[in-house]
Amino acid sequence: MIQAIKQRAILVALTPVLAVGAVLSVLRYVVAIPSNPGRAWRVALAVDDLGNVAGNGHLGQSISSRAAYAAQAGKRWGKIVCGGLNALDPGHCTRALTAPDQNLTAHVPAIRQSSGK
């Protein structure tokens, strides 16, 4: 019980650090677009990963990959997200499934075990 309270107190204390990190990420992204597009893409990918984790996804998996797996499973939200992504970038979700760093099928049991799911 005390350990759980201590963990929650640490998480609360981290809130301002996370807020500053979010602001700095957006600023770094905007500055990098004209000066260093490669860095801007890396920041965008990191935010994508964060968004996926915040949406109950797995660390290391992009929203595109998660949506592609959901679309394959017949889930409406996955089909909607992939429809939008594929309209902007044809074949996006298919590439997300086959990208070596996004194809987590073999790792899902280990990821679920480590995340407690």
pLDDT at 59: 87
Taking only the tens place, the pLDDT of each residue in 6-62 is 999 999 999 999 999 999 999 999 999 999 999 998 898 889 889 999 999 888 888
Give mean pLDDT, residues 95-105.
69
Phi-psi region of 33 (alpha: psi -120 to 50; beta: other; left: phi over 0): alpha
Residue 64 to residue 86: CA distance in whole angstroms: 10
- Band of the pLDDT at 105, cuts 50, 70, 90? very low
pLDDT at 102: 60
Range(s) of the domain holding residue 99: 2-115
Taking only the tens place, the pLDDT of each residue in 48-77 is 889 999 999 888 888 999 999 999 999 999
For residue 66, count other CB atoms closer than 10 A to its CB: 24
Please count the structural domains in the chain: 1
DSSP letter string over 11-36?
HHHHHHHHHHHHHHHHHHHHHHHHH-
Q: Please give the single-letter amino acid code of residue 72.
A: Q
